[in-house]
Copies of this chain bind each other. A is one copy, B any other.
């Protein structure tokens, strides 16, 4: 069985600036262009007193941003069934966001490899039912 897609989660730590909603939608379109995917819809919410969420519905799955300004964290995820790896987003975001550290996880969704990869680690639990 072919995999259905790839998923990447990227967490930026030590972010000092609270970027505007516009910043995130621009980033989404920039990533979409690079990954050759189509953005169909963006839904967003500015939280009070702080925090922002942005979900992009793609012709090839989704992207999301969640910000936690009180913790200096921007959490991004990108699941795509397109041809280009979602890790393509990393270079763009690293240029746009000022941060101290970034934690990246990338994994395939629903492919044979998932069966073969039976490891779990302290921070990552994986199992099949």
Interface set of A (CB-CB < 8 Å, partner B) = 1-2, 4-5, 7, 9, 11, 13, 40-41, 43-45, 47, 53, 55, 57-59, 61-62, 64, 66, 68, 71, 73, 75, 77, 79, 81, 94, 101-110, 113-117, 119, 121-129
Instruction: Find chain B residues with CB under 8 A from A61 CB.
Output: 53, 64, 66, 75
Q: Per DSSP, are chain A's interface residues mostly helix, strand or loop, or mixed?
A: strand
Contacts of A108 in B (CB 8 A): 123
Q: Which of B55, B68, B123 contacts A43 (CB 8 A)?
A: B55
Chain B residue numbers with a CB within 8 Å of A40 are 45
Q: Closest CB of chain B to A15's CB: distance in Å?
A: 11
Contact B129 A105 (CB under 8 A): no
- Assembly CA distance A127 to B94 (angstroms): 14
A73-B4 contact given A79-B64, A103-B128, A114-B103, CB 8 Å threshold:
yes
Residues in B neighbouring A5, C-beta threshold 8 A: 66, 75
A53-B61, A57-B43, A81-B66 given; A122·B126 CB < 8 A:
no
Give Cα A41–Cα B45 distance, bound, in whole angstroms. Answer: 9
